[in-house]
Structure 1
Amino acid sequence: MQNSLLAKYSSAVPRYTSYPTAPHFHEGIDCGKYAQWLKAITAQERISLYIHVPYCDRLCWFCACHTKHTLKYEPISIYLESLKKEIAAVGALVSRDAAVTAVHFGGGSPTMVRPDDMIGLMAALRSAFTFAEDVEISVEMDPNDLDEPRYDALAAIGMTRASLGVQDFHPEVQKAINRIQTFEHTKSVVEAVRARGVHSVNCDILYGLPHQTEATVAETVKDILSLAPDRIALFGYAHVPWMKKHQTMIKDEMLPGLEERYAQMNLAASMLVAAGYEPIGIDHFALPEDRMAIAAREGRLRRNFQGYTDDAAEALIGLGASSIGQLPQGYVQNMPATGEYQRMADAGGLAAVRGVEVSEDDRLRRRVIEEIMCRFAISFSELRQEFGGAVDAIAAEAKSFAQSNQDRICLIEGDRFVITDVGRPFARTIAAVFDSYLATGKGRHSIAV
């Protein structure tokens, strides 16, 4: 039965970190439109900042991020100067009464940034924006970049959450993905950041990698659990070589099949739950006292370009090459090409080149998809409080899908559309039912499980 469901519902669909999804962004959203959106942020709104550092000193074959390889620091130093100009330009357009409640440094490898430059970058952010006293500051970390001065710099900027990519500790798997990182080294990073007062540590684990087996996944999970991270993200490797050419280094025959991949996911998830972690959405786990676990229990879990979050900010501003922002009016993306981004930032500060303005139907469907991804259910009565009669069409779609589905992956219970335990692994596929753009065929996606 399970194998037939896998074959039926593991189609290639978006990850739904936005709606409409990125393939539907267009050039009609430019710097002028973006400036209007930034000026419209009110004093009462909260802001989340994402800062993208698109450089790595090694290129991991599995990675699907916008990044480039460099062994020299000069390109990073030049990039940071352009980034500061964008920060100043964006900050000048946003009300200083709007508080920044979250900052996320991503990449690439933000930990490649030298200590003085990291402190200078944070100073530029604080100069341009008003930070809330309890601002959360998270940094994606490559353990191989880190040394004592960098740890101290991250403490100096007020880092509150460290996010470590682990993937898999098995040497054969690491060699196949060009990511050599020992457990001992990873453990030393966790100990170093905790010694400097970081209250939350996240670790990323991947399944579906080349040469991975249930045994290697189990060993990796066991090692990670010994570090007692506050959060664990369990992601399926997204094999998209048509989009990321370096993934051609990973041959299809090296990858586990769909059934093995699914078994790896279930094994890891069961081990995490047995260890006391609460499942969050489709791919996150957190200790009960963690903010994300609390948000999930209270129905406040959200989803954005960083995945699941407890961040309640009304505006997410992306800074740096390729970064994506989410504002009340819609989505905006900066120029992905680093050199061209720097030219735009140096010339005028803003570097927006595409995006999409959301319609009322988009807002409704975005909420429906987020509810499915975060809570595995839709309450039609709750939706009507915000969207009124427009919900009737969505309710009809949901009821039609539930009634026609013979596999009981979803049900109608009163005024609610509910994904069953059988259907939860296929939440992305179920969310796609409500995606009015998917049939246009724009974009290719990774498999849903």
Structure 2
Amino acid sequence: MNKDLLARYSAPVPRYTSYPTAPHFHDGVTGDLYGKWLSEDGGPDALSLYIHIPFCDRLCWYCGCHTKQIKRYEPVVGYVGALQAEIAMVAERFPVRRRVESIHFGGGSPTILSPDDLAKLREVLDRHFDIEPSAEISVEIDPGFVDEIKLEAWRRFGITRASVGVQDFDPVVQKAINRPQSFEQTAKVVKMLRSFGVGGINLDIVYGLPHQTLESLQRTLDLALSMNPDRFAIFGYAHVPWMKKHQTLIDEAALPGAEARYEMAERVSAVLLQAGYLAVGLDHFARAEDSLARALTSQQIRRNFQGYTTDRAASLIGFGASSIGRNAGGHVQNITATGEYIRAVNEGRLPVARGFALSDTDRAVGEAIEALMCHYSFSVKELSQRYGVAADVVKADAARLLQQDKDGFIRFDGDHFEVVGDGQRFVRTIASGFDQYFGRGTARHSVAV
């Protein structure tokens, strides 16, 4: 890859798991407004739910999530009580009882929950929603802090998919990010999950970590492939110490540069494609029989706050501190600090901190960016049919980007816009050309490769 080309396209840009992106959310969206949006949403489409557990048994230095390390379980007890109350409050705002087709537990480490508290959450969800028998129920797992008893509790809850955090198996890299985790630990957890009938196993791997090399990354991939997962999620490490102070514990001098990061991303892609996985969007890989791969072939992939997904629900309801959701009105994010979140819920308030009310222009641009991130293309004509003149800004930006394209990365015939060839590796940067808010304010982002 040409160094000048890499320098131009690897500048910091958003990851585009929403549009507008979270740094542009504001406190003009309140709990009262969110309650109004919920009261106007009568379905009939099923909902998707996200439940955030902001606690960990350890704090990994690379982590960019809203979480904190705890030594005692007591804080979790109060938090679970608040979650139960928030679930009830939200359900009561809907004009009718709603169906649920997807539940995702993120964190933090959701498996920090005790079996009793997990059962309480299932009970309150069943009391207020109709969870479809075919619902996908997924959970993020840290293999270093889970055992057979906890996994059995998750089996009873009904999980169908587990995302197992690997990051890197190299001991030097693990020490540099404060995440010791043996291959044997990880393989044992994967084996237990399969014995409990969990049909979908995802492995998460990160490139661009301190002291990581192509050789060490290759060894990690070889070990990961030996577990025969259904999917891989491959993330470029986002070094954002201005947002996550614990990342200052990472030696910046040990981080790979832009060229090395690009080579790592290319190596991962080559290895997984050779192993029979299909590339899904920018950073996911799935076996041909996996639902994500099937959705890819039918142009049904979506991208939300959890990354690439088969979730087609129009409304995603977030529960818990810092959780983000969306519905027809716009995006909402809950209070981040767990104490303030619990206080708001205990006072009977929807614990919304900020959000963004969407215009039709926002919806048209957001749909175009999501289509680029998922399938590298979109149709201006289809956007115009849905959003009318609000889609004109997309057409104008498409023409401008084609004119500016000196590298042959873009095709545009007045309707069909497509990112081609090596440009697909830089789709985040190209997508930012449609972002009407990018560059406004003081938001800072991770590098694009």
TM range, smaller chain? over 0.9
Question: Alpha-carbon deviation of 1:414?
Answer: 6.2
> Bigger CA drift: 49-58 or 391-400?
391-400
Render the CA deviation track for 1:141-199: whole Å, top value 9, x for unaligned. 11122112101100000000011110000000000001111111101111101101101
User: Is the Cα–Cα contact under 8 Å of residues 41 and 98 in structure 1 kept in the other structure?
Assistant: no
Residue 212 of structure 1 pairs with residue 212 of structure 2: yes
Whole-angstrom CA distance in 1 between matches of 2:120 and 2:290: 30
Instruction: Give the secondary structure class of the aligned counterpart of 1:369.
Output: helix
TM-score by length of 2: 0.98
User: Is the Cα–Cα contact under 8 Å of residues 91 and 97 in structure 2 kept in the other structure?
Assistant: no
Instruction: Give the secondary structure class of the aligned counterpart of 2:135.
Output: strand
Whole-angstrom CA distance in 2 between matches of 1:413 and 1:161: 41
Letter in 1 for 2:152: D
Question: Alpha-carbon deviation of 1:378?
Answer: 1.8
Render the CA deviation track for 1:108-155: whole Å, top value 9, x for unaligned. 001011111111111111112121121110010111221121011000
Instruction: Give the secondary structure class of the aligned counterpart of 1:256.
Output: coil
> Bigger CA drift: 119-128 or 94-103?
94-103
Partner in structure 2 of residue 118 of structure 1: 118
Partner in structure 2 of residue 403 of structure 1: 403
Partner in structure 2 of residue 76 of structure 1: 76
> Bigger CA drift: 125-134 or 329-338?
125-134
Question: Alpha-carbon deviation of 1:15?
Answer: 0.5
Render the CA deviation track for 1:333-392: whole Å, top value 9, x for unaligned. 111011010101111052012101001110010011001101101212222221234333
> Bigger CA drift: 342-351 or 173-182?
342-351
Partner in structure 2 of residue 149 of structure 1: 149
Letter in 1 for 2:85: K
Question: Alpha-carbon deviation of 1:416?
Answer: 1.2
Letter in 1 for 2:114: R
Partner in structure 1 of residue 254 of structure 2: 254
Whole-angstrom CA distance in 1 between matches of 2:439 and 2:373: 20
User: Is the Cα–Cα contact under 8 Å of residues 43 and 97 in structure 1 kept in the other structure?
Assistant: no
Residue 276 of structure 1 pairs with residue 273 of structure 2: no
Question: Alpha-carbon deviation of 1:411?
Answer: 1.8
Question: Alpha-carbon deviation of 1:45?
Answer: 2.1
Whole-angstrom CA distance in 2 between matches of 1:126 and 1:259: 50
User: Is the Cα–Cα contact under 8 Å of residues 208 and 255 in structure 1 kept in the other structure?
Assistant: yes
Partner in structure 2 of residue 189 of structure 1: 189
Partner in structure 1 of residue 44 of structure 2: 44
Whole-angstrom CA distance in 1 between matches of 2:127 and 2:139: 20
Q: How do 1:14-413 residues align onto structure 2 when only pairs under 5 Å count? A: 14-413=14-413
User: Please, which runs of 5 or more residues in structure 1 have no aligned partner?
Assistant: none
Partner in structure 2 of residue 445 of structure 1: 445
Whole-angstrom CA distance in 2 between matches of 1:131 and 1:447: 39
Whole-angstrom CA distance in 2 between matches of 1:58 and 1:276: 35
Letter in 2 for 1:157: F
Letter in 2 for 1:385: Q
TM-score by length of 1: 0.98
User: Is the Cα–Cα contact under 8 Å of residues 67 and 108 in structure 1 kept in the other structure?
Assistant: yes
User: Is the Cα–Cα contact under 8 Å of residues 87 and 349 in structure 1 kept in the other structure?
Assistant: no
Render the CA deviation track for 1:273-321: whole Å, top value 9, x for unaligned. 0111000000000001111111111011111100111101111000000
Whole-angstrom CA distance in 2 between matches of 1:250 and 1:130: 45
Question: Alpha-carbon deviation of 1:75?
Answer: 0.7
Question: Alpha-carbon deviation of 1:214?
Answer: 0.3
Question: Alpha-carbon deviation of 1:95?
Answer: 4.2
Instruction: Give the secondary structure class of the aligned counterpart of 1:133.
Output: strand
User: Is the Cα–Cα contact under 8 Å of residues 167 and 205 in structure 2 kept in the other structure?
Assistant: yes
User: Please, which runs of 5 or more residues in structure 2 have no aligned partner?
Assistant: none
Question: Alpha-carbon deviation of 1:443?
Answer: 0.9
Letter in 1 for 2:49: L
Whole-angstrom CA distance in 2 between matches of 1:287 and 1:398: 33
Change (3 A) 1:414 1:436: closer
Instruction: Give the secondary structure class of the aligned counterpart of 2:422.
Output: coil
Letter in 2 for 1:281: G
Render the CA deviation track for 1:67-105: whole Å, top value 9, x for unaligned. 011010001111111111111111111244421000001
User: Is the Cα–Cα contact under 8 Å of residues 85 and 349 in structure 1 kept in the other structure?
Assistant: no
> Bigger CA drift: 373-382 or 102-111?
373-382
User: Is the Cα–Cα contact under 8 Å of residues 322 and 337 in structure 2 kept in the other structure?
Assistant: yes
Letter in 1 for 2:223: D
Render the CA deviation track for 1:5-58: whole Å, top value 9, x for unaligned. 110111111100011111111111111011111112213122111001100010
Whole-angstrom CA distance in 2 between matches of 1:200 and 1:365: 33
User: Is the Cα–Cα contact under 8 Å of residues 111 and 150 in structure 1 kept in the other structure?
Assistant: yes
Instruction: Give the secondary structure class of the aligned counterpart of 2:84.
Output: helix
User: Is the Cα–Cα contact under 8 Å of residues 46 and 100 in structure 2 kept in the other structure?
Assistant: yes
Change (3 A) 1:28 1:392: closer
Count of aligned pairs: 449
Whole-angstrom CA distance in 2 between matches of 1:112 and 1:61: 18
User: Is the Cα–Cα contact under 8 Å of residues 48 and 101 in structure 1 kept in the other structure?
Assistant: yes
Whole-angstrom CA distance in 2 between matches of 1:89 and 1:390: 35
Identity %: 49
Whole-angstrom CA distance in 2 between matches of 1:287 and 1:62: 28
User: Is the Cα–Cα contact under 8 Å of residues 66 and 108 in structure 1 kept in the other structure?
Assistant: yes
